Amino acid sequence: MSRIVLAVLMGMAMMTAGMISDAQAADAGKGKLVYAQKCSSCHGKEGKGDGPFGKNLTPPAANFTDPAGTAKKSDTELLDKIAKGGRGTAMPAFKSLSADERANVLAYIRAMAGK
């Protein structure tokens, strides 16, 4: 086997290992970047639902830090909302985000709620 083929195979094995570890541990640090770009205009910098676009909506953008609200809901329910949007509300469906990116942004939402 030539050295080049061997190097390519090793590279592919390393990339696969990296992908698996990403899927296992959601990364709130990466989620923070997505949040700042795509979510904070409605949900607010600190997740309180007070972003410039979010506070005047009906219903308003969710306050992630409300202990009786988002914090009580399951990951499955919230990931579904991020992927498919809030039916009949202003919450958009983020189909452009990968499953990993949605998990990362949810990890950041949980971190803002202090959970």
**Dihedral of the CA atoms 28, 30, 36, 40 (nearest 10)?**
-30
User: Judged by CB, which is closer to ligand HEC: 3, or 72?
Assistant: 72
Q: What residues have CB less than 8 Å from 99, skipping those under 6 apart?
A: 23
| Binding to ligand HEC in span 40-79, by CB under 6 A | 41-43, 53-54, 57, 59, 61-62, 69-70, 73, 78
DSSP tag of 83: H
Q: Which pair of tokens denotes residue 20?
A: 């698996």
The residue from 22, 86, 111, 113 that contacts ligand HEC (CB under 6 A) is: 86
Q: Residue with the closest Cβ to ligand HEC?
A: 86
Q: Which pair of tokens denotes residue 113?
A: 């709620």
Q: Which residues bind ligand HEC (CB under 6 A)?
A: 34, 38-39, 41-43, 53-54, 57, 59, 61-62, 69-70, 73, 78, 81-82, 86, 89-92, 94, 105
